[in-house]
Amino acid sequence: MLGASSFLAATAIGTPALAQNEPQPDSATSKAAAEAEYRQLSSQVPQRAGDPGFDFALGIAALDSGRFGDAIIAFQRVLAVQPDNAAARAELARAFALAGDIDTAREQFATVVDDPSLPDPVRQRFTGFVRQFDRQIAGGGSDVSGFVDARVGYDSNINTATELNSIVIPLFSFLGPGQLGGAAVAQSDEFYDITAGISGVTAIGRQDRLFASVLGNWRDNFDTAMFDQAALTGTAGYAHSFANDDVISLSGQVQQFWLDDAGFRTSYGVTTQYTKPLAGGKALTVSGQWNRLDFNGDPLRDADRLSIGTGFVGKFFAANINGGTEKTRRQAGDHLSFDFIGANLGAEVPLARTIAVVGGIGFDLRRHDAPDPLFLVKREDERLDLTAGLKVAITDRLFLQPTATYSRNWSNIALFDFERWTASVGARFEF
């Protein structure tokens, strides 16, 4: 947007103030050439400053070489002599915008728009710039987006259970191996899964926004209702952008989770995150989260969960590492308390205009606080999760997504040692 104004101002606005003999770098000039041009012109400032044609060329060279402050001074000298020079005022607006002062940039562009000699196509373009600056000054307006994802597939272990039929419980070892019931042994089944979400953001100031989202999920197993699952999550929060584009946010979240059509767990908590944007669309994040977990009918599992994490977002991938603790609120449930650390890497790499490879890997390590009352040892788990699939664009908003996952949990307690894989195909619609 800002680069276009230079071309439009220099070509569509005729003005006799532009010196015909001065070399003027256009928008395609390399920064190295602009740097050389700026050095050549700046050496003549003591002798030629105040000449509108010279100052205009100097300002363009300063802009193209990234010297926004010098450009502003040069264009202001032009306007001091020729206050009606629309081209210089447009370039001054561009310089202020590139320097981060969008208020002054908006005022300068608005002045150019009022120039009666401005051709209509150029006036329309500059009017568009003014409207964009108005949106920025107001904070960006509001936006609503969402998605619906539906899939069907096969799951080798819907209850994440061991494949063993019997185990020895140390507390009752004198009785020999105990036979495990059906719910404690891995069960396979076909399933369908529907996930939908909607989110919105609205500006309450130039640097302040409110955001909210609702996410719902329903998973139904074809033959086994005992492990059907559903979840509903609501989030709302506030985000503040600093002058350097860093963002800090604070949000609250409530979630209800159902198992076999009955309430299983309610959680609520707060999350804070700091994001540092980097060049090329990359970003660094640091976050902290606290959650209260209430398990219906199982008060020994009620717990407080605290975690901190850091992440990096690249063009085609995102990675994060986090750690924390989940502590039960009753001493009798200490064997269910644990510390954890985890790492995740996810990627979406385009193969063609409409096809991308999607993949991910995650690792989670847990160490429990107290010995299990039946197995007489502190539980120790390590879990690996792998995901691979394709994302095929049918339209700009509709995607086909075949996906396969694999999970392996290693545990020193046989009851919690399991393996699981799924294969599914789904369609995702985004709006």
pLDDT digits (tens, 9 = 90+) for 387-401: 999 999 999 999 999
**Is residue 121 over pLDDT 90?**
no
Q: Which CATH class is domain 2-138?
A: mainly alpha
Residue predicted with more confidence, 309 or 141:
309
Instruction: Count CB atoms within 10 A of the CB of residue 16.
Output: 10
142-430 adopts what CATH topology? Answer: Porin (2.40.160)
Residue predicted with more confidence, 201 or 117:
201
Residue predicted with more confidence, 34 or 417:
417
Q: Which two tokens stand for residue 400?
A: 């086909």
pLDDT-derived band of residue 207, with 50, 70 and 90 as boundaries? confident
What 3 state SS string does 183-212 have?
Answer: HHECCCEEEEEEEEEEEEEEECCCCEEEEE
Longest Cα–Cα distance of the chain, Å, equals 104
Instruction: Count CB atoms within 10 A of the CB of residue 403.
Output: 18
The whole-number pLDDT of residue 42 equals 87
pLDDT-derived band of residue 200, with 50, 70 and 90 as boundaries? very high
The whole-number pLDDT of residue 26 equals 45
In sequence order, what are the residues at sequence separation of 6 or more whose Cβ sits closer than 8 angstroms to the Cβ of residue 1?
129, 132
pLDDT-derived band of residue 27, with 50, 70 and 90 as boundaries? very low
The whole-number pLDDT of residue 15 equals 33
Render pLDDT for 285-324 as a digit per residue (tens, 0 to 9): 999 999 999 999 899 999 999 999 999 999 899 999 999 9
Average pLDDT over residues 324-352: 96
Average pLDDT over residues 204-229: 92
Q: Please report where in the chains the tokens 């369609």 appear, as a residue.
A: 427
Structure-derived torsion over alpha carbons of residues 231, 237, 241, 242, reported in degrees to the nearest 10: -120
CA distance 385 to 131: 47
Lowest-pLDDT range, 98-112, 178-192, 225-239?
98-112
Task: Tell me if 2-138 shares its fold with 142-430.
Answer: no
Q: Are the C-beta atoms of 151 and 401 separated by less than 8 Å?
A: yes
Q: Which two tokens stand for residue 12?
A: 């569509």
Q: Are the C-beta atoms of 201 and 142 separated by less than 8 Å?
A: yes
Q: Are the C-beta atoms of 93 and 127 separated by less than 8 Å?
A: no
Q: Which two tokens stand for residue 104?
A: 């002054």
Lowest-pLDDT range, 117-126, 374-383, 386-395?
117-126
Most confident of 23-27, 30-34, 250-254: 250-254
Burial of 268 (0-12, 13-18, 19+ CB in 10 A): middle
Q: Please report where in the chains the tokens 């664009």 appear, as a residue.
A: 393
CA distance 244 to 279: 12
User: What number of residues does the chain have?
Assistant: 431
Q: Are the C-beta atoms of 237 and 251 separated by less than 8 Å?
A: yes
Q: 162: which DSSP letter?
A: B
Average pLDDT over residues 262-270: 96
Burial of 86 (0-12, 13-18, 19+ CB in 10 A): buried
By DSSP bridging, strand 283-295 and strand 189-203 are unpaired
Stated pTM of the model: 0.71
Amino acid at 425: V
The whole-number pLDDT of residue 21 equals 37
Q: Please report where in the chains the tokens 């020193």 appear, as a residue.
A: 412
Domain ranges of the chain: 2-138, 142-430
Lowest-pLDDT range, 49-53, 64-68, 135-139, 197-201?
135-139
**Is residue 17 over pLDDT 90?**
no
Lowest-pLDDT range, 30-39, 101-110, 193-202?
101-110
Helix (H, G, I), strand (E, B) or coil at 270: strand
Q: What is the mean pLDDT of the chain?
A: 87
The whole-number pLDDT of residue 85 equals 84
The whole-number pLDDT of residue 93 equals 84
Amino acid at 132: Q
